[in-house]
Structure 1
Amino acid sequence: MKIRALAVTALLAASLVACSGGQEPDAKAPSGKPSPAASKLSALAPAWQPKLDAATEGAAATCQTPSSKACAEALTEIMIVVNELESEIEAPGRGPYRESTKQIAKMQAATDKYVDEGCQGDPAADDPNSDCWGISAITVGAATLGMTLITDDLSQPK
């Protein structure tokens, strides 16, 4: 699934900018006997919300023209962050992030549809009745993902 997601992301734009490597956890393990795994697997929202916000800044406005290269690049930037977040969610020892995982799946499905419909470069994609307008599941979906991360963080075992 990760290979498919990366392949779709690569198709959205001709050139991708490499994202930074690993990330440092922001939160400390709860008091008591913190294990190395517990301190490594801190809440995700504090670290990932700023990344999602940065990736989506201006994307909704840019994607008022779904056929544009700028829109494809904005969608690519968002999905790079989302795919990296998915990898973090799937880290061994991390509790379930059910709602976030569902939201990521919706965003990946919208990405697949954008690619399958050939939206980039197709002037018909800009028609408001076009299936290409499903990209709002990506541009707006990133904000929803930020909220589901908070909810899932709160539901993690302490």
Structure 2
Amino acid sequence: MKLQELLVQEKIERGILSFPQIEHDIIIDPVAVNHFSYSACLVVPKEHPLANREKVTFKDLQGFNIASLSDHFALGEFTKKRCREFGFSNQVILTHDDFEILLHSLDKLDAITILPRELEDLSPVEDLVWIPIHDVNSLYKQGLAYRKNMSTNTDVISKFIEAIRH
């Protein structure tokens, strides 16, 4: 996940990042940004066979083209990992960092995508259905992330936490 890498490389100093924590040289403090999380949703065009479902499991995605976020994102990594586990990784036909491009591609590519539910209100594309995914990894908590070698700089970190809470 790209932002965790950038943190380790000292290209950014801190950020609000999603779990799971991949990099060993950072700390992601969930308490710092309590209640920050997002949930995974399947996004499909209104005419798609899955569009009438109230919820889906990852297994339900078998046989459909998938447009996925890249591995820079927790959901992109999740999508590809679960596709491999279920034996349909060849269904990922497009990978991109821009969620709007993924949404615009759904009709053109006869595809589905997995995005945070919280993006639904920001979607520039109409006639899409956002369906909750029931999976062990469908809720992503976030926390304040910083390098372990910065943990002694508690004053700055505490001020940052207070600023984002208010």
- Could you state the TM-score of these two structures normalised by the residue count of structure 1? 0.30
Larger radius of gyration, structure 1 or 2? 2
Higher strand content, 1 or 2: 2
What TM-score comes out, normalization by structure 2 length? 0.29
Please state which structure has a larger fraction of its residues in helix: 1
